[in-house]
Amino acid sequence: MKLCDLLSVKRSLFVIFVGGGEVEMGYRFAVMSGIFLLLFSSGCATTRSESAPVVVKRTQMQMGTLVTITSVASDRRRAQDAASAGFQEIHRLEELLSTWIATSELSQVNAAAGRDAVMLSRDTMKVLEASLEMARLTEGGFNILVGPAVEAWSVLDRQHIPSDAVLQAVRPLTELRSLHLNVAERTVYLAKPGMRVDVGGIGKGFAADMAVAAMQAAGATAGVVALSGDIRTFGRLPGGMKFPFGVRHPRHEEVVLAFIELQDEAISTAGDYERYFELDGVRYHHILDPITLQPARDCQSVTVVARDGLTADGLDTGIFVMGRERGLALVERLPGVGAVIVDRDGKVWVSSYLKGRVRMNDGIE
């Protein structure tokens, strides 16, 4: 039986795709009730020709979020095997990178803070190297050591504004100069007890990249790997259609702000609407400026499109902290990178790389 499916990535992005494996020419899409709707001019129930590619969609909980993989291949078995390969790769990386798993490499790094250097796998080293490069590019806006300050705010648990004294006490634990990475020996050392590495702001993008590579090796010709708001695409849908996405409005959960189509690119969004509380009319959210240790205030959301998930995932948070002016200036210097930024006043800014590719939703104010 043929299925026409819509994948809704709740936190920030929506992706239209065709699920169930049987695809007919004649796509169009529309927006209804703030979400994407994929329509077929020929209707949903058709018979797939023997030569048509098969599309398979599967969803699992991994890396603390809902992971959905869409796999396109020449036959159903190959599409299923490719999806399985993608999930297996994400699981492997979760065992290395998750700080919620006591035996992971990063948990071992954190446990040894102030005492010992820890030997790393090549993948973990690559993520840490990329994290430091993102910190450099974003002028400190991206920081994998900011966890103690986020915990001080306790945004997830209660409406709590920490005192300046509390924030100053944890500041030394957030300083990147106290993270010593030895690339030659493949070790990392956290110089102060209580320091913690957390790659949640970049690790999912890396996992999406690696899952795509695993899927391609298993025979997939196209697909999408979506770890919540961190998404990587490759190839095209059957019939030649690129993968269409919508970026959600940062102040209206069920409203699509803009549309974009992707092929062989990644997209990732950081927003002040994911985890926050409001007190006396002020929004306090989880994206902290590592310099002030206060919630970054210049943007409502930042969506980054890049050639790989590692770059898109790392840049969205860093640019959010940098703010619209410096963030756009950075994006314009980076080849193959574009951004859609909603500033503090709700004005939308689109970088030159995405001009002509992003279509705004004319139905919103």
For tokens 């979020």, the residue is: 65
Can you give the pLDDT at residue 348? 97
Can you give the pLDDT at residue 279? 83
**Tens digit of each residue's pLDDT (9 = 90 or more) over 159-204:** 789 999 999 999 999 999 999 999 999 999 999 999 999 999 999 9
Can you give the pLDDT at residue 46? 32
Pairwise CA distance, residues 224 & 8, whole Å? 13
- Of 46-50, 160-164, 208-212, 275-279, the one with minimum mean pLDDT is 46-50
- Of 113-122, 268-277, 297-306, 336-345, the one with minimum mean pLDDT is 268-277
Neighbours of 45 (CB within 10 A): 12
Can you give the pLDDT at residue 34? 21
Can you give the pLDDT at residue 281? 85
Of the two residues 359 and 158, the one the predictor is more confident about is 359
Can you give the pLDDT at residue 364? 63
Question: Do residues 317 and 289 lie in contact, with contact meaning Cβ atoms separated by under 8 Å?
Answer: no
Can you give the pLDDT at residue 172? 98
- Of 32-36, 104-108, 245-249, the one with minimum mean pLDDT is 32-36
- Proportion of the chain above pLDDT 90, given as a percent: 75
Pairwise CA distance, residues 150 & 144, whole Å? 11
CATH numbers and ranges of domains, the chain:
114-190 (1.10.3980.10)
